[in-house]
């Protein structure tokens, strides 16, 4: 048996071969974006909703809201432009939901937050750039921000980022001039107009150690975990310090120092694609949201820049540029870390790159449905495509409509798959996204219908993000789908020793056991999410989630970098889902 460090990539074939194409009403050579453009055109002609052959496109969102204080017009906005345009960093459409903000909406953020500064090569007074993520409805006018160094209010430049449908910003960019050696903490107050003067904003790259961003900013600015978690900037989170018992296992297992950027580089980031799997930028930003310290922030910041700097092309031609042919592989095409980085920095380059990667995904994954049999399909590809569409759409200034339409089509296709396969399986309430083992990876030797419990966590992450941002009937359908997924994993998804199956058969008595304890947390997350979405009353799901959390705490293994990448990206939301 190989050790965790020696194991090769699971599903190494996934997404490396061409998919058979199916098209609803576009020419055979067209991809998803062609259909989206047609939908967009019809919407502009006055259709509020376009319904055609299963495609639903919403014309929604609100591009109002006061923009910025300061600004120099060099890609960072300025003036008092109204929210929703490129100069203001806004989003013209957010899918119609105004409540996608908080870490769950249970705690309302206060009116002020302390920001800790740490020099990173700065000398004397330095321009410091950061952004403060916000809950829905918290701030709609970026001039209503004050910054204090001790008891003294100081001049600042501000700009609202990614407005929601109600005009409130998802984040507000802040710049100040301070000496971090003399001023270790700033206090940012939300809701009152500044009285110390406005600073013109400079391009974010001018505040970095070098424009590539791979060495970080000249001054680190750290927000507390309580604020980051409740803002929901990385998804629903709870600070590590607020959980104990088995739910604290992710604090122990996710060793952000051991698997940091230096280790990432040492293991071959320059010429090996496997170490990039599962979107490390997002994993580290989620660690930062739970800890509020420099260790995960530094790796998140550096690696999100490393990823962006390798992107080639733009629009639908944008590809990830990673080694060993990963540029044409869906499971390496990420927009989520780019969008989060934008919301925490205001760096406009990341807004554009998030849009590009999502638009590129429409060509890499043009047909999100499953045709049956060996038609190549995995929950991992489905999840990362949906995550790209949703996160890019929420920060986009001019591509939201196209990206939300792509997300809508994908979710509809995934739910249709869930309700259809395997043919003859008739349980309406407990269903995963079942597809044939030959569609998933014929080399794994599972020639029957089933699903991957651990890869389902990536798709569940995407569906939950979609539901939070989209709202309405589409959100309800996504949540209902997640509840069905959780029910079947709770009932059928693990062996007699409570180890989740690597491949769970559906409509058969066959299952593929997992030889390792590296996928326990993912099943816990999916079931906990389903339990919460179902109202928290399903005893079987709650018991299964708790059993798996205890299993992860007692026996879970995160023994190698790639394992860290997948175990510490989605499942880290489990403590929030189950915390009393």
- Give the pLDDT confidence of 117-142 residue by residue, as tens digits: 999 999 999 999 999 999 999 999 99
CATH top class, domain 4-20+234-578: mainly alpha
Asked whether residue 27 carries a pLDDT value surpassing 70, the answer given is no
What is the SS3 assignment for 36?
helix
- Give the pLDDT confidence of 302-343 residue by residue, as tens digits: 999 999 999 999 999 999 999 999 999 999 999 999 999 999
User: What's the confidence (pLDDT) of residue 106?
Assistant: 58
Q: Residue 412 is encoded by which pair of tokens? A: 């509809």
> Average per-residue pLDDT in the chain?
86
- Give the pLDDT confidence of 250-301 residue by residue, as tens digits: 999 999 999 999 999 999 999 999 999 999 999 999 999 999 999 999 999 9
Enter the DSSP assignment of 453. T
Q: Please state the rounded mean pLDDT for residues 390-399.
A: 98
Instruction: Find out whether 88 and 77 touch, Cβ atoms under 8 Å.
Output: yes
CA distance 271 to 276: 10
Q: Residue 158 is encoded by which pair of tokens? A: 């501000």
Peptide bond into 422 cis (omega under 30): yes
Query: What sign does the CA torsion over 503, 276, 464, 381 have?
Result: negative
User: What's the confidence (pLDDT) of residue 554?
Assistant: 98
Q: Please state the rounded mean pLDDT for residues 484-501.
A: 98
Q: Please state the rounded mean pLDDT for residues 519-541.
A: 98
- Give the pLDDT confidence of 406-443 residue by residue, as tens digits: 999 999 999 999 999 999 999 999 999 999 999 999 99
In the chain, list all ranges with CATH 1.50.10.10: 4-20+234-578
Confidence of residue 107 (pLDDT cuts 50, 70, 90): confident
What backbone phi and psi angles, to 5 degrees, belong to 181?
-70, -30
């Amino acid at each position: 048996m190989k050790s965790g460090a020696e194991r090769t990539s699971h599903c190494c074939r996934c997404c490396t071969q061409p998919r058979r194409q199916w098209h609803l009403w576009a020419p055979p050579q067209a991809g998803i974006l062609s259909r989206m453009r047609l939908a967009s055109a019809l919407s502009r002609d006055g259709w509020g909703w376009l319904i055609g052959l299963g495609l639903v496109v919403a014309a929604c969102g609100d591009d109002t809201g006061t923009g910025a204080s300061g600004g120099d017009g060099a890609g960072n906005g300025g003036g008092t432009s109204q929210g929703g345009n490129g100069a203001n960093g806004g989003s013209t459409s957010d899918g119609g939901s105004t409540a996608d903000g908080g870490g769950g909406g249970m705690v309302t953020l206060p009116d002020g937050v302390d920001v800790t500064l740490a020099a990173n090569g700065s000398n004397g007074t330095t321009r410091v750039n950061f952004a403060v993520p916000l809950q829905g409805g918290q701030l709609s006018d970026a001039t209503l921000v004050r910054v204090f160094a001790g008891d003294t209010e100081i001049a600042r430049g501000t700009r609202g980022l990614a407005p929601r449908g109600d005009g409130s910003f998802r984040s507000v960019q802040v710049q100040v001039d301070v000496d971090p050696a003399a001023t270790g903490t700033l206090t940012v107050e939300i809701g009152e107009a500044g009285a110390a003067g406005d600073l013109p904003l400079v391009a974010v790259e001018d505040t970095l150690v070098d424009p590539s961003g791979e060495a970080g900013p000249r001054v680190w600015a750290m927000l507390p975990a309580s604020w980051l978690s409740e803002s929901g900037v990385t998804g629903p989170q709870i600070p590590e310090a607020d959980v104990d018992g088995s739910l604290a296992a992710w604090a122990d297992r996710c060793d952000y120092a051991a698997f940091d950027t230096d280790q990432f580089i040492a293991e071959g980031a320059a010429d090996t694609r496997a170490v990039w799997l599962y979107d490390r930028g997002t994993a580290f930003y989620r660690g930062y949201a739970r800890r509020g310290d420099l260790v995960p922030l530094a790796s998140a910041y550096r690696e999100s820049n490393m990823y962006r700097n390798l992107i080639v092309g733009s629009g639908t031609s944008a590809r990830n540029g990673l080694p060993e042919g990963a540029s044409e592989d869906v499971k390496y095409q990420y927009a989520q870390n780019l969008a989060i980085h934008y919301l925490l920095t205001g760096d406009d380059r990341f807004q554009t790159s998030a849009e590009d990667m999502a638009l590129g995904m429409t060509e890499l994954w043009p047909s999100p449905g499953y045709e049956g049999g060996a038609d190549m399909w995995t929950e991992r590809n489905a999840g990362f495509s949906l995550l790209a569409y949703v996160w890019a759409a929420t920060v986009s200034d001019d591509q939201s409509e196209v990206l939300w339409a792509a997300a809508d089509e994908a979710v509809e296709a995934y739910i249709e798959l869930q309700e259809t396969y395997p043919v003859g399986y008739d349980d309406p309430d407990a269903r995963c996204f079942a597809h044939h083992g030959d569609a998933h990876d014929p080399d794994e030797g599972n020639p029957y219908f089933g699903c991957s419990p651990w890869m389902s966590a990536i798709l569940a992450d995407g569906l939950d993000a979609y539901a939070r941002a989209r709202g309405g009937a589409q959100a309800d359908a996504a949540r209902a789908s997640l509840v069905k997924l959780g029910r079947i994993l709770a009932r059928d998804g693990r062996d007699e020793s409570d180890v989740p199956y690597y491949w769970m058969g559906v409509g058969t008595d066959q299952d593929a056991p997992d030889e390792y304890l590296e996928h326990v947390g993912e099943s816990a997350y999916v079931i906990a999410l389903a339990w919460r979405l179902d109202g928290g009353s399903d005893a079987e799901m709650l018991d299964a989630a708790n059993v798996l959390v205890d299993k992860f705490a007692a026996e879970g293994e995160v023994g190698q970098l790639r394992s860290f990448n997948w175990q510490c990206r989605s499942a880290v939301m489990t403590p929030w889902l189950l915390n009393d």
